[in-house]
Structure 1
Amino acid sequence: MEQDAGLPPSTDDTRSPSRLRTAREAAGYSLARMAALTHFSKPYLGLVETGRRSVTAELIERYEQVLGVAIGTALDPVRITHEWLLGDTPASLQLRAGRQIGVSLVEALETRVVELRHLDDTVSSSHMLPVITKELGAANVLARDAAYSDAVGRRLFTAVGELAQLAGWVASDAGQYVKAKQFYLSGVSATETIGDRVLGAQLLSCLSYQLANIGRRDDAMLIARSAVSGATGATPVARALLLERYAWAAARLRDTAAARRALDAADDAYERRSDGIPEPEWVYWLNRAEIDVMAARCAIEVGAPARAEPLLTRALAGYASEHIREVALYQTWLAESYAETGDLDAARATLGQAQAAAERADSARLQRRVTAIANLIDRRAT
Structure 2
Amino acid sequence: MSDYVPPTVLPREVLERPEMQAALSQHDFGTVFLLARREAGISYSRIAAACDIKPERVGTLARGRGRITTFEKIALIADVFRIPGHMVGLAARAWEAAAAEADDDMRRREFLKVSVSAAAGAGLAAGLPEPVHLAAGRRLGADAPEQLRQRTARLRGLDEILGGGDTYRVYLDEYQRTRATVRHAVCTEPVRRGLLSVLAEQAQQAGWAAFDGGRHAEARGLYEASHKAAGEAGDAGLAGNALAFLAYQALGSDRQAAIEIAARSCATAGPDAAPGVRALLFERLAWAYAVAGNAALAESSLETARTALDEAAGTPQPDWSAWVDSTELAIMTGRCWTELRRPLRAVPVLEKALEAYDDRHARDKALYMSWLADSYLAAGEVEQAAAVTGRALDLSAGVASVRPRQRLEPVLRQLGGHRTLPMVAELLEKALA
Q: Of the candidates 364, 379, 394, which is equivalent to residue 341 of structure 1?
A: 379
The amino acid across from 1:285 in the alignment is W
DSSP-derived class of the 1:361 partner:
coil
Question: 2:352 corresponds to which residue?
Answer: 314
The amino acid across from 1:370 in the alignment is L
Distance change in 2, residues 1:381/1:240 (3 Å): farther
Question: 2:208 corresponds to which residue?
Answer: 169
Unpaired stretches in structure 2, ≥5 consecutive residues:
1-135, 421-433
Output the CA distance in 2 between the equivalents of 1:199 and 1:289.
23
Cα deviation for residue 105 of structure 1 reads: 3.8
Cα deviation for residue 279 of structure 1 reads: 1.2
97-106 vs 175-184, which moves further? 97-106
Q: Of the candidates 296, 319, 325, which is equivalent to residue 287 of structure 1?
A: 325
Cα deviation for residue 188 of structure 1 reads: 0.6
DSSP-derived class of the 2:323 partner:
coil
DSSP-derived class of the 2:332 partner:
helix
DSSP-derived class of the 1:254 partner:
coil
Question: 1:115 corresponds to which residue?
Answer: 154
Q: Of the candidates 263, 279, 285, which is equivalent to residue 240 of structure 1?
A: 279
1:339–1:380 contact (8 Å) kept in structure 2:
no
Output the CA distance in 2 between the equivalents of 1:229 and 1:109.
28
The amino acid across from 2:391 in the alignment is Q
Output the CA distance in 2 between the equivalents of 1:297 and 1:123.
22
Q: Of the candidates 348, 357, 363, which is equivalent to residue 401 of structure 2?
A: 363
Output the CA distance in 1 between the equivalents of 2:163 and 2:341.
32
Q: Does 1:132 align with 2:175?
A: no
1:224–1:245 contact (8 Å) kept in structure 2:
yes
Output the CA distance in 1 between the equivalents of 2:281 and 2:366.
23
RMSD: 1.6
Output the CA distance in 1 between the equivalents of 2:260 and 2:303.
19
Q: Of the candidates 220, 245, 248, which is equivalent to residue 181 of structure 1?
A: 220
Output the CA distance in 2 between the equivalents of 1:106 and 1:325.
31
Question: 1:143 corresponds to which residue?
Answer: 182
Cα deviation for residue 381 of structure 1 reads: 6.9
Cα deviation for residue 306 of structure 1 reads: 1.4
Q: Does 1:378 align with 2:416?
A: yes
1:344–1:381 contact (8 Å) kept in structure 2:
no
DSSP-derived class of the 1:272 partner:
helix
List 4+ stretches of structure 1 deviating above 6 A: none
DSSP-derived class of the 2:220 partner:
helix
Q: Of the candidates 267, 281, 284, which is equivalent to residue 306 of structure 2?
A: 267
Cα deviation for residue 98 of structure 1 reads: 4.4
- Show CA shifts across 1:180-218 (max 9, x none): 010000001101112111110011101111222x22111
1:99–1:145 contact (8 Å) kept in structure 2:
no
Could you say which structure has the larger radius of gyration?
2
TM normalised by structure 2 equals: 0.63
1:251–1:302 contact (8 Å) kept in structure 2:
yes
Output the CA distance in 1 between the equivalents of 2:391 and 2:164.
20
Q: Does 1:106 align with 2:163?
A: no
Unpaired stretches in structure 1, ≥5 consecutive residues:
1-96
Output the CA distance in 2 between the equivalents of 1:342 and 1:366.
22
Output the CA distance in 1 between the equivalents of 2:245 and 2:283.
11
Q: Does 1:296 align with 2:326?
A: no
Cα deviation for residue 178 of structure 1 reads: 1.0
- For these two proteins, the number of residue pairs brought into alignment is 284
Cα deviation for residue 354 of structure 1 reads: 0.7
Question: 1:153 corresponds to which residue?
Answer: 192
TM normalised by structure 1 equals: 0.71
Within-5 A mapping of 1:1-40 = none
Cα deviation for residue 102 of structure 1 reads: 2.1
Question: 2:238 corresponds to which residue?
Answer: 199
The amino acid across from 2:164 in the alignment is S
Q: Of the candidates 262, 283, 295, which is equivalent to residue 224 of structure 1?
A: 262
DSSP-derived class of the 1:360 partner:
coil
Distance change in 2, residues 1:155/1:379 (3 Å): farther
* Percent of paired sites with the same residue: 33
- Show CA shifts across 1:70-128 (max 9, x none): xxxxxxxxxxxxxxxxxxxxxxxxxxx94422245433311221012111110221120
Output the CA distance in 1 between the equivalents of 2:327 and 2:183.
41
Output the CA distance in 2 between the equivalents of 1:332 and 1:253.
19
Question: 2:293 corresponds to which residue?
Answer: 254
159-168 vs 368-377, which moves further? 368-377
